[in-house]
């Protein structure tokens, strides 16, 4: 069949568009791997699963990466990565275990070893030296445990501290989060008193419900309570984060829709920030501080949003950031419960949306901290994603950022 001149022109143009699309897709550069812990597998499996996604350097969009792996248990709720990005740890709450994975430069996860906890674990943190893994578990009892690490392998218990409110030792205390300072010198844990805070049911204690505990880390990982420990933390603190300069700690209060800020004093003592607490969205669930120490991002589980805050570097005071639409929040999918800033360049933010079965992606404005949604967000995940973490791509250098 002979084509007309116009038809030939259209055909050439169409082929050019297809070729350009193929070339563009080939030019996609991965800067991070994004790991998502799902409460159940994507198929018929009921065990936990870790999915791996590749993060595009230009758009922040994510696509399927290395094959998914079992989390090594049931109901994974938290993940942590070592500072050298060679090891990943996942908390399987329903299985009462923590599982260690080796992390290859290609993003492939290989299960190595695991530990079993005496009570349900719910949060973990790794110190930047890669020498201790901190696990909080409970209630009955509520415990902070430091495990020694050697080359990523989880070793024996180095130290342990039972969480208790002075004067209310018989109360049931539920730990919810843990963070370790970047200088490795102190660990902080959030918890709430279930005997004093029991929505819809009776209470048996008049104690303040919310608390944050602080411990100095000594020789051999020894945990020593800081003077004044613990400190009040609203009603139901569910997450906390510390800044990279070791000066500030931030806590989300799920029950009062607020974020509480503390300054770290000598001896790891916490003092409330002036003008706090600070308004967040409805039922804030998780938060993270970006690598620059300039911004905080808090997920709001009920309002399905993430709130960006800018940090006053002198005082640590957070101020909600106004985005391009004039709002202080940016929409996610349903019930965000975990949030992370990409590890390579600190340009993108991702949330795990528990009821949305998805991941939401955002571009971070480095000048203001404001967020805009990435291309094609939200991205489908496995069932009930509960935690996210990122590591730089193996062939990509990490940008040095200083607050």
**Interatomic CA distance for residues 84 and 145, integer angstroms:** 22
Residue 278 lies in a domain: yes
Answer whether 115's CB lies under 8 Å from 90's CB.
no
Residue 48 lies in a domain: no
Residue 228 lies in a domain: yes
**Residue 241 CB-half CA count within 13 A:** 23
What's the confidence (pLDDT) of residue 329? Answer: 78
**Interatomic CA distance for residues 307 and 327, integer angstroms:** 9
pLDDT at residue 144 greater than cutoff 60: yes
Residue 206 lies in a domain: yes
Exposure b/e, 232-258, CB count within 10 A at least 16 = b: ebbbbbbbbbbbbbbbbbbbbbbbbbb
Residue 28 lies in a domain: no
What's the confidence (pLDDT) of residue 6? Answer: 41
What's the confidence (pLDDT) of residue 231? Answer: 98
pLDDT at residue 398 greater than cutoff 70: no
Count of domains observed in the chain: 1
Residue 203 lies in a domain: yes
- What the block records as the tokens of 228 is 């004044």
| CATH number reported for the structural domain that contains residue 96 in this entry | 2.130.10.10
* Closest alpha carbon to 223 in 190, 185, 191, 192: 185
What's the confidence (pLDDT) of residue 43? Answer: 53
What's the confidence (pLDDT) of residue 31? Answer: 87
**Range of the structural domain that residue 281 is part of:** 83-351
pLDDT at residue 162 greater than cutoff 50: yes
> What would the pLDDT profile of 217-257 be if each residue is shown by its tens digit?
999 999 999 999 999 999 999 999 999 999 999 999 999 99
What's the confidence (pLDDT) of residue 140? Answer: 86
What pTM was estimated for this model as a whole? Answer: 0.90
> What would the pLDDT profile of 341-353 be if each residue is shown by its tens digit?
999 989 999 999 9
What's the confidence (pLDDT) of residue 28? Answer: 60
**Interatomic CA distance for residues 254 and 189, integer angstroms:** 15
396 confidence band (pLDDT: 50, 70, 90)? very low
> What would the pLDDT profile of 128-138 be if each residue is shown by its tens digit?
999 999 999 99
104 confidence band (pLDDT: 50, 70, 90)? very high
- What the block records as the tokens of 402 is 């200083």
> What would the pLDDT profile of 252-292 be if each residue is shown by its tens digit?
999 999 999 999 999 999 999 988 999 999 999 999 999 99
> What would the pLDDT profile of 6-45 be if each residue is shown by its tens digit?
444 334 334 333 333 343 444 568 889 999 999 876 554 5
Residue 303 lies in a domain: yes
Which residue in the block uniquely carries the two structure tokens 């409330």?
272
Residue 62 lies in a domain: no
What's the confidence (pLDDT) of residue 21? Answer: 37
């Amino acid at each position: 069949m002979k084509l007309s001149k116009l038809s030939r022109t259209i055909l050439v143009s169409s082929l050019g568009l297809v070729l350009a699309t193929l070339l563009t897709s080939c030019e996609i550069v991965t800067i991070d791997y994004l790991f998502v812990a799902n409460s159940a597998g994507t198929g018929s499996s009921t065990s936990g699963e870790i999915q791996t996604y590749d993060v595009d350097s230009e758009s922040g969009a994510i696509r399927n990466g290395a094959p998914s792996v079992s989390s090594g248990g049931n109901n994974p709720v938290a993940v942590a990565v070592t500072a050298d990005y060679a090891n990943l740890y996942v908390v399987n709450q329903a299985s009462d275990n923590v599982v260690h994975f080796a992390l290859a430069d290609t993003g492939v996860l290989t299960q190595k070893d695991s530990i079993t906890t005496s009570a349900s674990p719910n949060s973990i943190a790794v110190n930047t030296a890669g020498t201790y893994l901190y696990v909080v578990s409970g209630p009955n009892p509520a415990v902070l445990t430091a495990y020694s690490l050697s080359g990523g392998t989880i070793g024996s218990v180095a130290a342990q501290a039972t969480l208790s409110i002075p004067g209310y030792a018989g109360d049931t205390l539920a730990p919810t989060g843990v963070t370790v300072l970047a200088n490795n010198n102190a660990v902080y844990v959030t918890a709430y008193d279930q005997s004093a805070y029991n929505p819809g049911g009776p209470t048996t204690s008049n104690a303040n419900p919310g608390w944050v505990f602080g411990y100095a880390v000594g020789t051999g990982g020894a945990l020593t309570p800081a003077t004044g420990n613990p400190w009040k933390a609203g009603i139901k603190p569910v997450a906390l984060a510390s800044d990279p300069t070791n000066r500030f700690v931030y806590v989300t209060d799920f029950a009062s829709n607020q974020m509480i800020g503390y300054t770290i004093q000598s001896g790891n003592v916490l003092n409330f920030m002036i003008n706090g607490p600070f308004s967040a969205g409805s039922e804030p669930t998780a938060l993270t501080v970006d690598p620059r120490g300039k911004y905080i991002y808090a997920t709001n589980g009920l309002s399905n949003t993430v709130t960006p805050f800018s940090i006053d570097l002198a005082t640590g005071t957070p101020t909600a950031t106004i985005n391009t639409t004039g709002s202080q929040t940016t929409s996610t999918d349903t019930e965000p419960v975990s949030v992370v800033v990409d590890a390579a360049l600190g340009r993108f933010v991702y949330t795990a949306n528990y009821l949305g079965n998805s991941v939401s992606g955002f571009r971070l404005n480095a000048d203001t901290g404001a967020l805009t949604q990435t291309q094609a967000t939200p991205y489908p995940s496995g069932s009930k994603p509960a935690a996210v973490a990122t590591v730089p791509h193996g062939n990509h250098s990490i940008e040095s950022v200083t607050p």
